[in-house]
Amino acid sequence: MRLGADFEGVKHLPKHLRPRWRYLAVGIEAWPDADVDRRAFQRALWFAAGNLLGDVGSAALDSSLLHFRFDDSEGDAVVRVRRDAVEQCRAALAAIDEVDGQPVGLRIRGTSGTVRACEEKYIRRPPERSKERTVAFADTERPAVVRGDRIDVVDSDGRVGATALDIRDN
């Protein structure tokens, strides 16, 4: 049997047979000392999907992490997922409460049909840098990390999320 030219090398599926993808823009927030890297986040997503949806559900998502940035306690990611499994992927992302033992807040900012549209629309420039400062919180001077209106205070039990409204003299 003679193999035709189509069988040589890696062939892509014809366009109408390729999976249809959606791209989810994810916003990530953590405490100031958190260090979340791409691999750890990817692992957290795999485990979240596997634990919540099982192997079958995970396979149905067919998710992959296309973009990841995290620095100075916040970041963003673009997750690609099969178009018919967006809601399951949303649920798996919502169930990520820690990455490498570090608490994280996650939010899906939006979804798009192309990675480019997703990044243009929902991935922002890195925000203003945070500053370390001492603030008057709950009648005590406390070290804090300040980023605009958001203020993460260190107290005797760890971190407390606050805003300018909570700080005396504001």
Partner 1 sequence: MYEGVHAYPDGRATAARLAKTAAAFGYDGVVIRNHGDAQTEYDPGRIGERYGIDVVRGIEIRSDDPGQASGLVGNYRSKRTIVCVHGGSLNRFAVEQPAVDVLAHPMDGGDINHVLAKTAAENGVHLEFNLARVLRAEGGERVGAIKGLRKLRELVEKYDAPYVVSADARSHLQLRAPRELVAVGETVGFEREAIASGLAAWGELADRNRTRRSDAVIEPGVRVEPRDGDGEGGR
Task: Give the C-alpha separation, 91 to 76, whole Å.
Answer: 17
With respect to partner 1, which residue has the nearer C-beta, 134 or 163? 163
For the CB of residue 131, give the shortest distance to partner 1 in the complex, in Å.
17
Residues near partner 1 (CB under 8 A) are 29-31, 51-53, 57, 87-88, 90-91, 93-95, 97, 103-108, 149-150, 157-163, 165-166
* Locus of tokens 């608490």: 103
With respect to partner 1, which residue has the nearer C-beta, 62 or 116? 62
Q: What is the DSSP code (8-state) at residue 31?
A: -
For the CB of residue 86, give the shortest distance to partner 1 in the complex, in Å.
8
With respect to partner 1, which residue has the nearer C-beta, 83 or 116? 83
For the CB of residue 156, give the shortest distance to partner 1 in the complex, in Å.
11
For the CB of residue 87, give the shortest distance to partner 1 in the complex, in Å.
5
Give strand ranges (E) for the chain.
21-30, 64-71, 74-82, 98-99, 102-112, 131-137, 140-147, 150-155, 158-163
Kindly state the tokens that stand for 28: 């990530």
How many other CB atoms sit within 10 Å of the CB of residue 159?
Answer: 17
With respect to partner 1, which residue has the nearer C-beta, 1 or 61? 61
